[in-house]
C-alpha cells in the first residue's frame, strides 16, 4: 500500500511566521501535490511537482512556495503566514502523469494561523 | 475558471436508506472520479470513470459517467454507519487534463 505521510496533524502558528509543511511518500511516485481543503470549496490545488527540483503552480499558489529536493519529499512553505491561510492541507502523490493514475492522499495537516 | 457543482452539500439519513449525489459541470470532462474522506483522514479513491455512459459499481456504490460528459452521479445503497464522511467528485477536462474537485457532500448516517 502507498503511504503518504504528513509530518504534523495539527499546527498553530502566528501571523508572519514562516511555516513548513512536510510530506513524504514511500512508493517512488513521480508526482506530488499540495491541496488545501476548505468547507464549501472542496480541494484546491496549490502546487504540484512531476519530478525532483521541478514545480508547477496550481490554482491558488499565491502566498505559498514548494521544494522538492528528493523524489520522496515535497514541502509546502508559507513564507509569511496569514490568517486566511488557516485551513486543512492535504498532500498527495501519484505514480504517473495523467488522470488514469489515482491520487494517494496523506491524512492532512490542520493549520491554524492566529 | 472551470467549476464543478456538487450536490447536495450535506445529507443526514437513516441507516438502510439509499443515497444519491451528483456533480455537474459547464465543461466537457473525459474522466470522473469519486473520492471518500473518512473523518480525520485523507480522501481515498472509490470509483474511476473514463468513458461517457460508463456505469461502474464497487460494492454498494454505483457511479455513472453522464452521456453529455458534463455530469456524474454516485449512489450508495442500503447505507451503514461507516458510510459517514465527505464524498468528493473530481473531473478532468478534456481540454486541459487538469483535475478539478467538487465542493464535497457531507454524509451523516443515523443508526
The residues, any chain, with a CB within 8 Å of residue B24's CB and separated by 6 or more, are B4, B5, B70, B71
Q: What is the mean pLDDT of residues B20-38?
A: 94
pLDDT 10s digits, B4-22:
899 999 999 999 999 999 9
Of residues B2 and B4, more confidently modeled = B4
d(CA A18, nearest CA chain B) in Å: 25
Q: Is the pLDDT of residue B84 over 60?
A: yes
Test B88 with A42 for CB contact under 8 angstroms: yes
Percentage with pLDDT > 90 across chain B: 82
Residue of B nearest to A98 (CA): B97
Mutation site for B-interface testing, chosen from A35, A43, A45 by largest number of B Cβ within 10 Å: A43
Reduce the DSSP state of residue A85 to 3 states and report it: helix
The residues, any chain, with a CB within 8 Å of residue B103's CB and separated by 6 or more, are A40, A41, A42, B4, B5, B6, B9
pLDDT at residue number B20: 97
Among A42, A99, A102, select the one facing B102 at the smallest CB separation. A42
pLDDT 10s digits, A40-61:
899 999 999 999 999 999 999 9
Of residues B36 and B95, more confidently modeled = B36
The residues, any chain, with a CB within 8 Å of residue A84's CB and separated by 6 or more, are none
Test A107 with B42 for CB contact under 8 angstroms: yes
pLDDT at residue number A75: 97
Mutation site for B-interface testing, chosen from A99, A101, A105, A109 by largest number of B Cβ within 10 Å: A99
**Contact residues on chain A for B1, CB-CB shorter than 8 A:** 59
pLDDT at residue number B7: 96
Would an 8 Å CB–CB cutoff place B39 in contact with chain A?
no
Band of residue B53 on the pLDDT scale cut at 50, 70, 90: very high
* Residues in a beta bridge with A109: A89
Under a CB-based contact definition with an 8 Å cutoff, are residues B20 and B74 in contact?
Answer: yes
* Residues in a beta bridge with B64: B55, B73
**Contact residues on chain A for B42, CB-CB shorter than 8 A:** 4, 90, 92, 105-108
Among B33, B43, B97, select the one facing A98 at the smallest CB separation. B97
| C-alpha–C-alpha distance, residues A35 and A55, integer Å | 14
pLDDT at residue number A2: 67
Under a CB-based contact definition with an 8 Å cutoff, are residues B46 and B36 in contact?
Answer: yes
Q: Is the pLDDT of residue B1 over 60?
A: no
Which parts of chain A have pLDDT scores under 50?
Answer: none
**Contact residues on chain B for A102, CB-CB shorter than 8 A:** 33, 45, 48
Band of residue B2 on the pLDDT scale cut at 50, 70, 90: low
pLDDT at residue number B93: 78
Give, in order, the Cα–Cα distances in Å from B4 to each of B23, B44, B60. Answer: 6, 19, 24
**Contact residues on chain A for B48, CB-CB shorter than 8 A:** 100, 102
Amino acid at each position: 500500500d502507498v503511504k503518504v505521510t504528513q509530518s504534523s496533524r495539527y499546527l498553530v502558528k502566528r501571523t508572519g511566521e514562516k511555516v513548513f509543511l512536510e510530506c513524504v511518500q514511500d512508493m517512488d511516485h513521480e508526482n506530488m501535490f499540495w491541496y488545501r481543503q476548505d468547507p464549501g470549496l472542496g480541494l484546491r490545488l496549490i502546487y504540484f511537482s512531476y519530478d525532483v527540483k521541478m514545480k508547477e503552480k496550481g490554482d491558488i499558489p499565491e502566498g505559498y512556495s514548494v521544494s522538492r529536493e528528493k523524489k520522496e519529499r515535497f514541502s509546502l512553505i508559507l513564507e509569511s503566514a496569514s490568517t486566511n491561510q488557516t485551513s486543512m492541507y492535504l498532500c498527495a502523490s501519484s505514480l504517473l502523469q495523467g488522470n488514469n493514475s489515482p491520487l494517494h492522499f496523506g491524512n492532512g495537516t490542520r493549520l491554524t494561523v492566529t | 475558471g472551470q467549476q464543478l457543482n456538487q450536490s447536495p452539500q450535506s445529507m443526514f439519513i437513516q441507516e438502510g436508506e439509499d443515497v444519491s449525489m451528483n456533480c455537474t459541470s459547464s465543461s466537457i470532462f473525459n474522466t470522473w472520479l469519486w473520492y471518500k474522506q473518512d473523518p480525520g483522514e485523507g480522501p481515498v479513491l472509490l470509483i474511476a470513470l473514463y468513458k461517457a455512459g460508463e456505469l461502474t459499481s464497487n460494492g454498494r456504490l454505483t457511479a455513472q459517467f453522464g452521456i453529455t460528459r458534463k455530469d456524474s452521479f454516485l449512489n450508495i445503497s442500503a447505507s451503514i454507519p461507516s458510510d459517514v464522511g465527505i464524498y468528493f467528485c473530481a473531473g478532468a477536462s478534456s481540454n486541459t487534463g487538469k483535475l478539478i474537485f467538487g465542493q464535497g457532500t457531507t454524509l451523516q448516517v443515523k443508526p
